[in-house]
Structure 1
Amino acid sequence: MIFEAELPIRFAHCDPAGIVFYPRYFEMMNGVVEDWCAQGLGCSFHEMHMVRGTGLPTVHLETDFIRPAQLGETLLAELTVLKLGNTSVEIQVCFCGQQHDVRLKARLVLVMMDLSLREAMVIPDELRAAMLHYCAAKDEKLASA
């Protein structure tokens, strides 16, 4: 299963040339992760941060900028889980144009964190089960490696 979200390219995302200014992609990626948590995993950032005292910060990020996106376009974001560990999850996020042409591809490592201790913690069972639904690996053993 793939988590999908539409991203309209707004004026605020663009540089004077009318294309997405690269740091804005990182903000959009964070928004996709936030939407995935709320809509796909059933645990909003508000619930995670304010109620549970946990977070899911990005600790590693690799990005390939393949083709520019410009003002007025709508991109499709696709998120899949590549690897699910004890305290971390590696995801892939792709932004595609209307013709399903890839504009950006990124790999992110997110770590479940106890915010009061500022330490990694085991991903709660209900979040782990929800994350498995988005696993690209066919074998659950690969997803838990």
Structure 2
Amino acid sequence: MFHNERQVQIEWGDCDPADIVFYPRYFAYFDASTGALFEAMGFSLRYIRDELKAVGFPMVDTRSQFFKPSKYGDKVIIKSEFTEIGRASFGIRHRLFNEGDLAIECTEKRVWACHTLDGSLKAKAIPDDIRAKMLSHG
């Protein structure tokens, strides 16, 4: 399935007084990595919103395991890949590496969503061209 990789440098503001990344910041990294995964496929969030009239892909479940801390100044690699593709939902796995070691593994389940006429959110089938790219070996 399609995958992407990006480098992140840990900033001072990401860290707690113990000089390690405050754990909620990792979820921000992984959310940005999901966006980068779609960008790498050629589908920006602007395109998804403006052209496809979708809201995007809200999170319905996330889980993480922490193996090694990261500190201010560390350059980490986040590898992201689709793990499953349903009709309207999909899974992503993010693995964050620090100095070659697996530091964190995170899984996400997201849904393709659009607004209904009354303004509420509703899951919708993932468009065929996006599904095809998700399933490719990018």
- CA deviations on 1:14-72 (whole Å, 9 max, x unpaired) are 11111100000011100000111112x21111221244321111110011111100000
- TM normalised by structure 2 equals 0.89
From the superposition, tell whether residues 23 and 32 of structure 1 become closer, same or farther in structure 2 (CA, over 3 Å): same
From the superposition, tell whether residues 49 and 12 of structure 1 become closer, same or farther in structure 2 (CA, over 3 Å): farther
Runs of 4+ residues over 4 Å off in structure 1: none
- TM normalised by structure 1 equals 0.85
Residue in 2 aligned with 1:105? Answer: 105
Post-superposition offset of 1:134: 4.8
Residue in 2 aligned with 1:115? Answer: 115
From the superposition, tell whether residues 104 and 11 of structure 1 become closer, same or farther in structure 2 (CA, over 3 Å): same
Structure 2 letter corresponding to 1:84: I
Aligned to 2:103, the other structure's residue is in SS state strand
Tell me, yes or no, if the aligned pair for 1:7 and 1:77 is still in contact at 8 Å: yes
Tell me, yes or no, if the aligned pair for 1:2 and 1:80 is still in contact at 8 Å: yes
Aligned to 2:8, the other structure's residue is in SS state strand
Aligned to 1:81, the other structure's residue is in SS state strand
Tell me the distance in 1 between the aligned counterparts of 2:21 and 2:104: 11
Tell me the distance in 2 between the aligned counterparts of 1:134 and 1:15: 38
Aligned to 1:5, the other structure's residue is in SS state strand
Instruction: Identify which of structures 1 and 2 has the higher relative contact order when contacts are C-alpha pairs closer than 8 Å and 6+ apart.
Output: 2
Structure 2 gap ranges (5+): none
Structure 1 gap ranges (5+): 136-145
Tell me the distance in 2 between the aligned counterparts of 1:2 and 1:49: 22
Same amino acid, percent of matched pairs: 26
Tell me the distance in 2 between the aligned counterparts of 1:103 and 1:12: 19
